[in-house]
Chain A
Amino acid sequence: MGAVIHNNSSQRFLLCVLCVSAVNAFLLTACAHSTDTPLRDLFDRGEYPRVASRIAARLPEDRTNRDYMLDRMRLSLALLADGRPAAAEPIINRTFEILRTQGINDDKTIAAAILGDGNVIFWKGEPFEQAMMFHYIAVQKALLNEWDNARAAAQSSLFLLKDFGENERGGRKTTEDIARTAVGRSRHNDDAFDDYLDKGYTPTKTNFALGYFMSGLANLALHRSGGDPARLDEAQDNFNEANTLIPALAPVTSALLNNSANTVFIIDYGPGPEKIRYGPDNSLTRFAPRLANNQRPLTLEIFTPTRATDSLKESVSSAPPSASPSAVAADLNALAQDHMWNNFEDLRAAKSSIGTAMLLGGAITASSDNQTAQIVGLSLIGAGLFSKLTAAADTRHCELLPNRVYVAAASITQPTTTVTLTIAGGPRLALPSLNPPTQNSIALHYVRMPMSSEIAQWGQSGRVLYSNDSCDCAVAGDDLPYILGGGGRCVQRPSLEVLRRYQASGNLLDFSVIDLENLYRAEGINLNPDPRELIAPRHLLDGGDSLEAPIAGSTGFVRLFCREHPPYVPKSTDAIRAIEERRGRSVRNK
């Protein structure tokens, strides 16, 4: 050791190592992950299939990838918004399994955070992101009419939170307050920092009203279908908790409990908060609103159509539309800003503070006359620099979460009913072709309100323009497949029933169902897709090869079937011949 202290070349070597470390650290920081802004913009515009395709194409299989869970959350949200809960099943189930695994990061150390993706802290999301994901799992299960699984997921969202109490100003402690206290305690004892964060709080019952609402709803649905009185008790208990947290929910829960509503709408609106860096060395993070908090009411109106092919304006029945109760059940700006809903992963703040302390301490000792102290000091400076250069916090977050979640209860009694959702001073979306639920059950619809002005082009007519497998609505042009042009607007999968409808109008008279299927196959359309490959199917109308229709009542359904698409350009000789033969027959008939 003494030889090292008195050896100048050794000192130079050590300094070189420290410099290389610092440069490496700088490069590592420069290569840090950045938020995928275009993805978020696409999502806001309602381009859910493109979002899903993009994520599915890069979905990491390596669990040490920090995006492993995050991309699965993003994909789940995109598929739900697109009205494809069945396609989301494997991804959703996997996210549930991960979320139900506790203490994934308990064994990890601050060193793991410093070393980045090579020795990662698994990204599980902030607690509010996790609770929201449990909520979406509950929504997906309810959309598939698996209310018991919806109950399981909703209950899982009601996990205990950690409450660090109030600050000296009498307000809720901020993350910065908590970090400052932890640093203060660690001055004389290194372990005190972690001890404070791990033990300095009170485990507290959640204030996630949306979770209580969904849990109540799932129990009520189970009660209605199975008659179990225990489920009704549990529904009432959960609704009471939700109403206590957000009194505006009471009219919605009352309508459900007194059986005056049979359909629930879960409506996501606006862009959720964004995680940004701040503080010393950008080592702390906080969530900043992308859309200000407001309590703009949502109006839900029900229109009973006179004819399914009518536009919304024409289809309003003589009776005035009925309004239904609604309320904001989750305000994500508020959740994200409350320390109870944060996991303090930006204890990179700790790392940054440790770096600062080491740098400071290192500078003092390096200036001493003692060469041993100099080496130690230089080492501390190096470690401090390394730490500081990698201190900028990771701002990875689920940017596809909404600003707020509305819930609304309605009574739908007629088939092919149209429901409009209007946010005061904001967008309006018409959901056509909604049917009443089967007797003794509750229907749930999940709607993502697109933000862009494009919604005005396709979101408001309430008119289905293409016949599809998700609704029984009659559409002008449903007597001919879309792939044969000539005004054909049917994108239903080939079946005897569908073929008979074509033939009743004098079309495809010499076709069998097999001929029709072969025509689709010749066009490269996948009629029997492998369910495992259905993660992000692109519909024929979107230029893809799938006829899988989004479910009615979803934004994806409206986006796909309520707007005009360019005429189909056939690729196969079979389709071209069929079109020509049809044209020839049409000319002969004239």
Chain B
Amino acid sequence: MSHATHTFLSSLCLGVSVVNAFFLTGCNHPSRSTQLQTLDFESIVVEIAASLRESDFLSGRTPESPEILLTSREPTNLTSDLMTKGERWYLIDRITHSFHLRDLAGERRIRFIVPAERLENLKEAIGFERTIGEERKPTHVLAAVFRNITRSFALDRTDLYAAHYSITALESGETVWTGEYLLKRTAAGRSYN
């Protein structure tokens, strides 16, 4: 292929790409909200669960390791969006549910314990005696905080969301694992319009 032909084809490809990009951009309706959507929640839990599964904290454990009794806490929402109780617990429960409990208990010596916030609800809902849960002595707690940074202008807004998870040893206060997932969302349009 001659240099001229190569240059021509390269130019043509570039031109087609530019035109495609133009039309694709033009066809995309701009997002009108930066709020997290269901798929974003799913992305967060999938990524965080994978991060935990591959972590030194988990992979280093054997059937001979000291037992961990892991509870969880209702996540804190420090974003500028509302998060319902259901959404919060979804973002915790989907992490713990992604593990095979029997394998985790047998091979990693980790067992999950009902969170304190849910204990009262359980008692009321199922009619348990008030003594239920008194034996509950967690050694570690799984927590999550969601934050965002907002940059807002007259005609658009960008939010960078950060989902930060951690497991803390309750006795020592040591953070034994952390996981983080970042998401950027942009929206066009006047906020009040």
B144 to chain A, nearest CB (A): 12
B33 interface hit (Cβ, 8 Å): yes
Q: List residues of chain B with CB within 8 A of the CB of A153.
A: 82
A37 interface hit (Cβ, 8 Å): no
Report 29 cross-chain contacts, Cβ distance below 8 Å, ordered by A residue. A93-B82, A96-B82, A100-B33, A100-B35, A101-B32, A102-B33, A102-B190, A102-B193, A103-B32, A103-B189, A103-B190, A104-B193, A106-B188, A106-B193, A137-B82, A149-B82, A152-B77, A152-B79, A152-B81, A152-B83, A153-B82, A159-B152, A159-B191, A160-B152, A160-B191, A203-B153, A203-B154, A222-B76, A343-B193
A259 interface hit (Cβ, 8 Å): no
B77-104 interface mask toward A, CB cutoff 8 Å, 1 = contact, 0 = none? Answer: 1111111100000000000000000000
Per the bound structure, the CA–CA distance linking A527 and B26 in Å amounts to: 55
Per the bound structure, the CA–CA distance linking A148 and B193 in Å amounts to: 26
A402 to chain B, nearest CB (A): 20
Q: List residues of chain B with CB within 8 A of the CB of A343.
A: 192-193
A312 to chain B, nearest CB (A): 34
Which of chain A's residues has its CB closest to B75's CB?
A148
Per the bound structure, the CA–CA distance linking A162 and B193 in Å amounts to: 12
Query: Contact: B80 with A152, CB < 8 Å?
Result: yes
B47-90 interface mask toward A, CB cutoff 8 Å, 1 = contact, 0 = none? Answer: 00000000000000000000000000000111111111000000
Q: Which of A93-117 contact B (CB under 8 A)?
A: 93, 96-97, 100-106
CB < 8 Å neighbour of B189 from A106, A137, A148, A222: A106
Query: Contact: A124 with B192, CB < 8 Å?
Result: yes
Interface size class of B (residues with CB under 8 A): 20 to 34
A275 interface hit (Cβ, 8 Å): no
Q: Which of A331-346 contact B (CB under 8 A)?
A: 343
Which of chain B's residues has its CB closest to A97's CB?
B35
Q: Given A101-B33, A160-B154 in contact, is the A148-B76 Cβ separation under 8 Å? A: yes
B20-54 interface mask toward A, CB cutoff 8 Å, 1 = contact, 0 = none? Answer: 00000000001011110000000000000000000
Q: List residues of chain B with CB within 8 A of the CB of A160.
A: 152-154, 191
A243 interface hit (Cβ, 8 Å): no
CB < 8 Å neighbour of A148 from B77, B153, B188: B77
Q: Which of B102-159 contact A (CB under 8 A)?
A: 152-155, 157
B177 to chain A, nearest CB (A): 21
Which of chain B's residues has its CB closest to A144's CB?
B85
B187 interface hit (Cβ, 8 Å): yes
Per the bound structure, the CA–CA distance linking A100 and B37 in Å amounts to: 13
Interface, chain B (partner A; CB < 8 A): 30, 32-35, 76-84, 152-155, 157, 187-193
Q: List residues of chain A with CB within 8 A of the CB of B79.
A: 152
Query: Contact: B191 with A102, CB < 8 Å?
Result: yes
Interface, chain A (partner B; CB < 8 A): 93, 96-97, 100-106, 124, 127, 130, 137, 141, 148-149, 151-153, 155-156, 159-160, 162, 203, 222, 226, 343
Interface-centre pick from B33, B80, B191 (highest chain A CB count, 10 A): B191
Q: List residues of chain A with CB within 8 A of the CB of B189.
A: 102-104, 106
Q: Given A160-B154, A162-B154, A226-B76 in contact, is the A100-B81 Cβ separation under 8 Å? A: yes
Q: List residues of chain A with CB within 8 A of the CB of B82.
A: 93, 96, 137, 141, 149, 152-153
Query: Contact: A102 with B80, CB < 8 Å?
Result: no
- Having A152-B79, A343-B193, one finds 9 other A-B pairs with CB under 8 Å, namely A96-B82, A103-B188, A104-B32, A106-B189, A137-B82, A152-B77, A152-B81, A160-B153, A160-B191
B109 to chain A, nearest CB (A): 31
Q: List residues of chain B with CB within 8 A of the CB of A203.
A: 153-154
Q: List residues of chain B with CB within 8 A of the CB of A101.
A: 32-33, 187
Per the bound structure, the CA–CA distance linking A141 and B83 in Å amounts to: 11
Query: Contact: A149 with B77, CB < 8 Å?
Result: yes
B183 to chain A, nearest CB (A): 16
Q: List residues of chain B with CB within 8 A of the CB of A151.
A: 78
Q: List residues of chain A with CB within 8 A of the CB of B154.
A: 160, 162, 203
Q: Given A97-B35, A141-B82 in contact, is the A103-B193 Cβ separation under 8 Å? A: yes
Q: List residues of chain B with CB within 8 A of the CB of A127.
A: 192
B23 to chain A, nearest CB (A): 19
Q: List residues of chain B with CB within 8 A of the CB of A155.
A: 80
**Those 4 A-B pairs whose CB atoms lie nearest each other, nearest first:** A103-B189, A102-B189, A148-B77, A127-B192
